[in-house]
Structure formats: C-alpha cells, structure tokens
Structure 1
C-alpha cells in the first residue's frame, strides 16, 4: 500500500485498527512511535547494486489505555514527516513487536489496516543457479485425447 492510499483511507475513518496476519487485532491503545523513510542500498548475491526506499511506521503498545490514536492525528504525523523528511509516495512497511521486531506489508480490507507477511527472496536467481519453480498444471488440461490411444503421443 502506498502512502497516498494510507492518507486517503485515514480521511474516511473514525477509528484506526491494525490486524495481524493471524487475524488478531493490535490492541487499540497502540501508538505510532515513528514515521520515517528507510533507505536500503545494497548488493545482491549476483553482484547487482540495488536501492530501495519505503515509508516505515512503527507500532508500539504502551500501558497507556486512556489515549487512542485517531485518524486525523496520524494523518498530521504523516504530513509533517513528508515535509521534514522529504518522503514521496512510497510503499508503506510496518514494524510491530512480536518475539522480535516484525516487518509487515500493509493493505486495507475496508475496516482495518492489514499487516501482511513479507518474505525474503533471492534477487539474482539466474546468477545463483537456482532453478525456476516449475508451473503446476492439471494433467486433465494438457490434452483432450486419451493418453494411450493408438494415435496418442504419450508413448
């Protein structure tokens, strides 16, 4: 989800909720303790130099049950961050404390922001000799003719 989509969504909400991939909701007394721009400049295992930027939200639970972050407050924090940090319309990544700090993608389901699972990947599979995953096909869709018919092409 891009930052512009988050801002547009916040303008339509009365309350903010975040849902973890397992379906649990982040406690409603969470705080967004950081809004920032994360820049990653790296070399992949194939030797290609890469550069990535994302907007980062850090969610944190405090023992402060009396204060809840409202959509307009988060929108103001985002607006200030855009100006001060020169943040563009980048993809949003969310950090949230689990056993360790978890990094999540972000989507919206019409009611809650969804923290989506992220996966690592090799960006240079062609240079590393990693085979491309074979496509899964249904055998019934391969051929209309029976496999071992006299004019079949299977034997």
Structure 2
C-alpha cells in the first residue's frame, strides 16, 4: 500500500481550483460576484476565445488596498468574515475566500485596483498562483482583473 502523505501545496491548490473553476463562465461569475460585493455600480466583462485565453472584469467598486493585494489571492482570505458567528449572518455573494486563489492557480492574472483614498492604484501579476511584486499604477477607482491562459498548467481541466 502506498504511503500516506500530505499533498504539495501547489497540487492542493490545483485540486481546489477544480472545485471553483469548472470553465471560463465560472471564472466570470466569481469575479462579477466579487465586484458586486465590492459595491460596484458598473461591471464590464470582456472575453476572447470563449474566455480561455482572455477574460477581463472591470468594476467601479471600492477597490483593493495595495498592501492587501497579495493577501486577496491566498486561500481562505476574505474581507467578509472575522468570527464563526459571522457565518450566521452572511449577506454577500461570496465569503469563503477561495475563488481568487483557485483562479490564480490555473491561470495568469493581472490585477489593477485603486481605492477612493489612494491617489494611485496598484498592480499585481500572478502566474500559476505565484505572485510578483505589487507596484504602483495609474488606474481608475475600482478593480480590473485580467485572466489569461485559463488551465494552461492543468491540461486535464482544459
């Protein structure tokens, strides 16, 4: 019998991504729900090749503060829950903090975001769940997520 062992975190992320990211439409759904939860009044979705090679969701919501950009892509990172009691009063579309981590595990993502109190926005690129540096960027209030090459590193899902 094979030895029982804990999966490598990257492999676990890819498995979790399969639960959240079934196809490009599920990515668009998750990103639109995040935009609505961020208070967006306007959400624009653009796709190419059915969303497999390019999917961009732009909103005018509250934005992600630069110091929290990398944290937003960690598993179980959420702005909606603090204690177990918060689970009893969920009033948002998403709360588990799995969507961005799962999407980033199976794609290449560029995100730009600016909050109302920030004179400049911030940008971040991720590839296969690995984040680069957060950099200053000129951008409008809200968040733009560009997802490219969905399932590039998980051919079975493609």
Q: Which of the five TM-score ranges fits, normalised by the shorter chain?
A: under 0.3
Higher relative helix content: 2
Higher relative strand content: 1
The structure with more radius of gyration = 1
Normalising by structure 1, report the TM-score. 0.23
